[in-house]
Each structure stands twice: as structure tokens, then as C-alpha cells.
Chain A
């Protein structure tokens, strides 16, 4: 049984095609990493699932319901949350208000705020501060907390570690481990291939808008990965 299945997803920015016939699936509780070079279409893929980029002629099924064609605001309440690339915190809102925005759609199942503060104790001390006054790592925690508070079945994270110190990245992955232990399905986009292979059950490698390689994280050969990542020229 798949929680998420995507078949032949094509996505466009105007006339520019960013994704070509992408097939993808995720089982409940699975952790999937998406790797690929800059511009490969990783963020576009996550945004297409979240309804922020509309695909054409595709079918996306989540929890046995078709969600392609739904708007982003309709998709959250189905149980999909995205931590967007670059965090995208609301600059004019406080930390707490940012977190509460994550619970806007489904207040019924939403986590209480205290849960988020137990997960990220630092944030409680800075609850009333403007979100942008925090350090990069703390901002990333707000972005993750804002996604978690909706109590998603599927959590998608786009380049969590970008620009963060190794220690902070380590902490953030530790948090993700507890999230995964609760049975939440995870899709993470990660530039650090070693990190991705170590954390995920399965990996998809994107190249120029197509899936160039997929397999179980432990079974992929490094030379296959680098060919799929950089293209044929890189493998030579």
C-alpha cells in the first residue's frame, strides 16, 4: 500500500518544463531522500505535491485519494506538510504566531503548542520575538515546528541543512529521527548525499527534471549515484 503515489508528473513554469514524467511512491512510515544537482527539479517536485506548482496530465494520489488539481490550501488538511526551501518564515509575525499558522487548517488534529516547545525548548524562550531575529538553526526549527504542528502524515523537508553549522544539522536530524519514530512518512531533499544515504530508507536521484536513479539507500553503488547525480559527463 502506498501513502503517496505519483505517476507521470510533468510540471511547468510558463513554457519551461521543469519535470518530465516523474514516477514516485512512498509507503507509510518510509523515509525517502531526494538528491540531485542544482536545478534538477527537487523543489519543484515537492511544490507540485503540496499544490504550489500545478502539474499537467499527472496523477498524484495520497491516502487513496486523488489530490492533483487541488490548491495548496486544500492539501494541508489532507495531512501533507512542507518545510519550504529557504524556510519562508513570515517576517512580520512572531515565532509563536509562525507556529500557530501551521495549525491554521486542521485545528482538530493539530498538536498543542506545548508539544512543539517540548521538541524545541529554545523556541519557547523566544516565542514573542520576531521570527527573523532568530539564528538560522532556530529559524529552521520554527519552520519544522510550523509544519509538524499540523500533525501531518507526510512531512516534506526541502534542504534543511542549507547554510547551517554541522552541529545544528546534527540536532535537526535528531529531531527528524523522533518524528520518523512516530510513524510520520518523510521526504527530504538533501544536498549532502552522504547524509541522505545514511538517513533514508530509499533514495530518488533527480537530474534535469527526470528521475535518473532510484533504489534502497544501502544498495546503491557510489559510482551509479555520482553518474545519476552529475550526468554522464561527470561519470567519465
Chain B
């Protein structure tokens, strides 16, 4: 019995990482209807930049690198959207997706050149091994618990931004009707770039948390993209709380599957994803209106 509870707990913790992966993907899809194929690679890129920042600044904790990494990634997202992706939006919905595919290849090759194919890890120090004992001989790691908190807080912040701020209102309006939003005085190119920048902030956070938890290399991105993608689809396209739920469900599916046999971990995650896709094609919590 305890074994099952432990699996579910571990699943929730793992799922928090997946929700962190998926938050930015979900935001960008919700606002721009764009699937960023390079999303996973940007997370890996963030982890590598954190590694490099730690080396040159001597920051003891990788979390400190976020002070520089967050504004940097915001800028990367903003400029990328404004200069490369916005002009590609138009009649052909495939074009921006193909561009992100190209970016994915470029990032992977760039990282291979810059950091070799070796697998890397960010070192979280004592935090990595600290844990809280629960009754029944169970334990939860402090880092996974922190990840869960940050993941939920980030989704909550995004939700607040979208539904309670002027920026969010304009983002939703632009998403619903681009040309009419322009008539209201919304500079839609700037707004899409803001959304991309904010998504990259979540990517920076995801990069650091993931890099501490697991090892990564230059080509880890596509695997991480799959998890992010599955979390978004399970939760329902365009719904941020759904994305959090989707991440947790995916995590629990994987860890409970792994109880039967370690080899089943990934497979059972994919199976649950497929089952949900078949049973509710719009995901568990599709966006309210539309």
C-alpha cells in the first residue's frame, strides 16, 4: 500500500516538472496558436546557460543564475518573436512551426559545438538530498516539493496575468481577433512578442529546476518537448490550470507504471496520453469559451 502512495507522491513531484515544461508551451499556443517545436531545446539551452553562468560568476547555487537568466531569456523570446516569427504569421499556418523546427536544429547543433555531447548536471548542493519524513516511512524531497510549489505558483501567475491585467486582456483579445485588436490600439506584434518573452521566463525556470533534478545533454530537448506537449494536450489546449493537471497526471501515470516494471515508465505515460486523447479529444479541461 505504502508503495503505491509513494509512487503517486513521486508522480506528483515528477509531474510538477512536466507542468513547468509545459507552461510556456501552453501560453504560446493559447495566445498565438503556435506550437513551438524548439520549446524543449530552449529549456535545455537555459540549463546550459545556467551552467555557464555559474562557472563564470561563481554563484554557489544554480538558482542564483535566474537573476540573469530570466531577463536574458525574456529578451531572447521577445526578439525572436518580433523579428523572426511575427513576420511569418499569415495565411500559411505551417510556416512559423517550420521556423521553430529550424531553431530546434540550430540550438541542438550550437550546444553540441559549445558544450560537446557530454551529459551535464546543475548542482543544487544540500537541497538536492534534503527530504521531509512523512508517517508510514514515506519521504518527500525538499527540491521536488519546491518544484511543485514553483510550478503551481507560475501557472497561477500566468493565469492572473491573462485574466486580471490589462496586458492579459489585450492578449486574449488579440488571440480572438487580431485585426479588431489593432483597431483598439493594440500593437499586436509587440503583444505577441511579450507573450513569447513571458513564455521564455517559464522556460528559464524550467531549465534550472530540471537541470538540478536530472542530467541533460545537447539533444535532450525533443524528449522534454514530448512531455510538455502531452501535458498540454491532456489538460486541454489553451487552459493553464489544465496544463498543471496534465503535467501531474502524466507524472503519476509514469511513476505508477514504473512500479510494474521500470521499463514501463515512459510507455505508461504515453498510453495514458493516448487514452485521454481518444476519450476526450479536447483534453480534460478545455478552454471555457469558444
Q: List chain A positions with a Cβ less than 8 A from chain B.
A: 50-52, 71-73, 76-77, 81-82, 84, 88, 90-93, 97, 100-102, 104-106, 130, 132, 146, 150
Contacts and interface: CB of A to CB of B under 8 A. Distances in A.
Contact of A104 (B172, B175, B186, B290): B186
B183 A90 contact: no
B75 interface: no
B90 to A, nearest CB: 12
A100 B181 CA distance: 12
A102 B169 CA distance: 11
B179 interface: yes
20 contacts: A51-B182, A71-B182, A72-B182, A73-B187, A73-B188, A76-B184, A88-B177, A90-B176, A90-B177, A90-B180, A92-B172, A93-B173, A100-B169, A101-B173, A105-B184, A105-B185, A105-B186, A130-B289, A132-B289, A150-B185
Contacts of A106: 185
A102 B180 CA distance: 10
Given A92-B172, A92-B176, A77 B289 contact: no
B26 to A, nearest CB: 15
A79 B127 CA distance: 57
A199 to B, nearest CB: 23
A52 B188 CA distance: 13
Interface residues of B, number: 21
A93 B176 contact: yes
A142 to B, nearest CB: 12
Contacts of B179: 52, 72
The 3 nearest A-B residue pairs measured at CB: A105-B185, A72-B182, A76-B185
A90 B170 CA distance: 10
Contact of B169 (A88, A91, A93): A93
B181 A101 contact: yes
B73 to A, nearest CB: 27
Nearest to A146: B184
Nearest to B175: A92
B126 interface: no
A73 B188 CA distance: 8
Contacts of A90: 172-173, 176-177, 180-181
Contact of A73 (B172, B175, B185): B185
Contacts of A92: 172, 175-176, 287, 289-290
B182 A97 contact: no
Nearest to B172: A92
Contacts of B182: 51-52, 71-73
A102 B184 contact: yes
Contacts of A101: 169-170, 173, 181, 184, 186
B176 A91 contact: yes
Contacts of A104: 166, 170, 184-186
A51 B184 CA distance: 11
Considering residues B176, B177, B180, B183, which has the most beta carbons from chain A within 10 angstroms of its beta carbon?
B183
B242 to A, nearest CB: 15
Contacts of A130: 289
